[in-house]
């Protein structure tokens, strides 16, 4: 067989163009959908049927069940979905990935879409330079669509011609001579291809090309399709390795669901294939068993029928699937339950636009961390037991380390996402989140300084007077009120925050006025001899620190509302 290294690179390049087109089209569609898609996901309920529809919708858009299931694992890890919801979405994702076969069968082989690719690129390319965000996103979608089918066309022309290479035909023929063992061999090939390509859609495209060119028949093509269903679970399991217990359970549920489907299908494989063959002949089409041109349609029907049947069989047992994976992967306590920041795997198709929703959720959680750390300070003020005080000090110190680490991780995550092609609105939201994270980190630093200040006060045996303690209580209450408004604004988003921002300005004014009032009072008390110099010093420092926390809280409110930010 005359198949050189250059021929191999040409084949690999055609596959790469197909994958790149899929990526560009996926990102373009995400940006077109933008907030609507994020809102659609965030409004998801625990209704299992709605979850299936969601999984179908998202996977149809991104054309990769591997990408969408990694996204589901990530959302569970972030706390955006629970385990019951995630199983429904995964079922829908399996159905959604079947659209690839239909798309290629109807357009890729029957019509010469590759010939139309250049005219489509001619239309799409100027749209990339439009000032309107939607037009640019539409241009990217069309460009990705054209590149995808151009890659598919090149893939068809790049594969070796078996009529001119009888050696390869003999090799493939040998693999089909083991009866049911051949089915298992081609199932393994499908699994391996999907793991390597990180996209079940890409494996499906390769399978359809091989079948259309006569490399393999309908039966063995169907076995590769079954292998894809197993291979696509590996990606989700890899993504879950760095996740929490919920993410691991979701990945396991995906694996069990797909393996169960493959097992029952193998038991009735030839009967199922025969029924599809009979159905196609019955509606006036040629048999996929004898006509290679009909194999892509046969595989599309097989893939769809298999995944829909598997979903219908198991959708009523979601509760028991969840119970099973919880038993297999038990929780190890709060440490295991803690949500991680490592959401997305390093796969080819990142859900950049949808990552904004996750980033928002993690930013909100980071803000809550800042408020909890602030509330350790009044506990330390009133703590008289030396050991308990030391524990609070250690906790504040630990939280300060966490805020520093989390700020770096979130900012790194946000920057990584912002490097992807995003809509202008999504990019602006990420920029504001980076500002918010920076301010929370400042709050952590201030709280740590307040804690060390209280430690020194304790060592020097300085005490706050009842009047000073009363003033500190009022100051902490004011700042906590500002924190509560901040959490509300960050959670509900820009539109709400803009209408609510005046409350934040009023609270900031009250904090500043109270700081000024008590500062004057400290000087008066010192002049009258009503307070010790040391207690006055530590009191003034504590009030001043609270005011600085208030400043950062206001900055976060303004970032959430999109006002007064550079």
Residue 94 shares a structural domain with residue 227? yes
Q: Angle, nearest 10°, between helix axes 200-212 and 180-197? A: 130
Residue 284 shares a structural domain with residue 144? yes
The Cα–Cα gap between 530 and 227 comes to 82
Residue 563: name the closest of 470, 486, 498, 479 by CA. Answer: 498
The Cα–Cα gap between 176 and 179 comes to 7
CA distances 69 to 56, 192, 279, 505, Å, are 11, 18, 32, 43
Distance of CA 155 to the CA centre of its chain: 31
Q: Which residues of the chain have pLDDT under 50?
A: 1, 45, 109-111, 162-163, 166, 169, 334-350
The Cα–Cα gap between 353 and 67 comes to 13
In a domain, 566, yes or no: no
Residue 419 shares a structural domain with residue 303? no
Sequence-distant (6+) residues with CB within 8 A of 318 are: 48, 84, 87, 88
Residue 257 shares a structural domain with residue 116? yes
pLDDT number for residue 81: 67
pLDDT number for residue 477: 94
Residue 559: name the closest of 444, 431, 413, 443 by CA. Answer: 431
pLDDT number for residue 558: 93
Contact 539, 522 (CB under 8 A): yes
Residue 271 shares a structural domain with residue 370? no
Residue reference for tokens 């019509």: 111
Of 310, 337, 364, the residue that ends a domain is 337
| Angle (nearest 5°) at CA 62 between 194 and 218 | 45
Of 337, 371, 390, the residue that ends a domain is 337
Across 8-90, the runs of DSSP E, i.e. the strands, are none
pLDDT number for residue 483: 94
Residue 215 shares a structural domain with residue 363? no
CATH number at residue 473: 1.20.58.220
Residue reference for tokens 């009909």: 294
Which tokens sit at 258? 């797909």
Residue 375 shares a structural domain with residue 316? no
Which string of b and e fits 263-293 if b means at least 16 CB within 10 Å?
A: eebbeebeebbeebbeebeeeebeebbeebe
Query: Can you give the residue range of the structural domain that contains 441?
Result: 352-561
The tally of domains found in the chain comes to 2
In a domain, 346, yes or no: no
| H or E stretch covering 348 | none
Distance of CA 302 to the CA centre of its chain: 30
Residue 329 shares a structural domain with residue 219? yes
DSSP letter assigned to residue 217: -
Residue 397 shares a structural domain with residue 511? yes
| Angle (nearest 5°) at CA 282 between 277 and 284 | 105
Q: pLDDT tens digits for 504-536?
A: 999 999 999 999 888 776 666 655 555 566 777
pLDDT number for residue 26: 62
Q: What distance, in Å, lies between the first and last C-alpha atoms of the chain?
A: 64
Contact 253, 86 (CB under 8 A): yes
Of 308, 337, 366, the residue that ends a domain is 337
| H or E stretch covering 484 | helix 466-492
Which tokens sit at 365? 């959680």
3-state helix, strand, coil in the chain (%, to 5): 80, 0, 20
- Within 10 angstroms of residue 384's Cβ, the number of other Cβ atoms is 7
In a domain, 12, yes or no: yes
Residue 405 shares a structural domain with residue 316? no
DSSP string, 353-422: HHHHHHHHHHHHHHHHHHHHHHTHHHHHHH---HHHHHHHHHHHHHHHHHHHHHHHHHHHHHHHHHTS--
Residue 98 shares a structural domain with residue 208? yes
Distance of CA 446 to the CA centre of its chain: 32
Residue reference for tokens 């524990």: 391
In a domain, 347, yes or no: no
């Amino acid at each position: 067989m005359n198949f050189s290294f250059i021929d191999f690179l040409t084949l690999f390049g055609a596959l790469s163009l197909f994958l790149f087109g899929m990526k560009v089209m996926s990102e373009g569609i995400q940006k077109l959908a933008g907030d609507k898609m994020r809102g659609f996901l965030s409004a998801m309920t625990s209704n299992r049927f709605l979850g299936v529809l969601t999984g179908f919708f998202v996977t149809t858009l991104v054309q990769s069940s591997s990408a969408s299931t990694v996204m589901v694992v990530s959302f569970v890890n972030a706390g955006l979905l629970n385990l019951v919801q995630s199983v429904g979405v995964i079922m829908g994702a399996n159905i959604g990935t079947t659209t690839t076969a239909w798309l290629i069968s109807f357009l890729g082989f029957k019509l010469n879409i590759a010939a139309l690719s250049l005219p489509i690129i001619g239309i799409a390319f100027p749209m990339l330079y439009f000032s309107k965000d939607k037009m640019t996103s539409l241009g990217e979608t069309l460009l990705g669509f054209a590149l995808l089918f151009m890659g598919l066309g090149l893939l068809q022309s790049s594969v070796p011609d078996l009529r001119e290479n009888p050696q390869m035909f003999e090799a493939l023929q040998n693999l089909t001579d083991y009866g049911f063992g051949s089915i298992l061999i081609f199932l393994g090939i499908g699994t391996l291809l999907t793991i390597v390509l990180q996209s079940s859609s890409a494996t499906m495209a390769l399978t359809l090309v091989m079948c259309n060119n006569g490399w393999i028949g309908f039966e063995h093509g169907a076995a590769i399709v079954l292998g894809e269903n197993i291979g696509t679970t590996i990606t989700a399991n890899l993504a879950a390795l760095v996740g929490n217990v919920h993410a691991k359970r979701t990945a396991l549920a995906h694996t069990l669901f797909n393996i169960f489907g493959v097992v029952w299908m193998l038991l009735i494989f030839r009967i199922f294939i025969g029924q599809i063959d009979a159905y196609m002949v019955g509606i006036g089409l040629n048999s996929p068993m004898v006509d290679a041109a009909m194999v892509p349609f046969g595989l599309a029907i097989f893939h769809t029928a298999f995944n829909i049947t598997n979903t219908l069989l198991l959708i009523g047992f979601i509760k028991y699937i969840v119970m099973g994976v919880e038993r297999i992967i038990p929780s190890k306590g709060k440490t295991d339950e803690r949500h991680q920041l490592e959401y997305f795997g390093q796969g080819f198709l990142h859900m950049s636009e949808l990552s904004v929703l996750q980033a928002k959720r993690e930013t909100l959680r980071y803000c809550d961390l800042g408020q909890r750390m602030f509330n350790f300070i009044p506990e330390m003020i009133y703590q008289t037991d030396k050991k308990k005080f030391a524990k609070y000090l250690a906790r504040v110190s630990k939280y300060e380390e966490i805020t520093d680490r989390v700020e770096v991780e979130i900012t790194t995550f946000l920057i990584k996402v912002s490097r992807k092609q995003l809509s202008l609105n999504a990019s602006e939201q990420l920029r504001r989140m980076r500002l918010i994270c920076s301010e929370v980190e400042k709050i952590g630093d201030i709280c740590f300084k307040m804690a060390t200040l209280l430690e020194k006060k304790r060592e020097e045996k300085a005490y706050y007077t009842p009047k000073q303690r009363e003033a500190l209580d009022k100051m902490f209450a004011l700042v906590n009120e500002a924190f509560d408004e901040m959490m509300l604004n960050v959670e509900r988003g820009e539109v709400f925050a803009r209408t609510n921002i005046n409350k934040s300005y009023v609270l900031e004014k009250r904090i500043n006025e109270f700081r000024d009032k008590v500062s004057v009072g400290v000087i008066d008390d010192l002049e009258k001899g009503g307070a010790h110099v040391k207690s006055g010093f530590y009191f003034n420092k504590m009030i001043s620190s609270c005011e600085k926390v208030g400043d950062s809280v206001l900055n976060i409110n303004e970032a959430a509302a999109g006002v007064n930010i550079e």
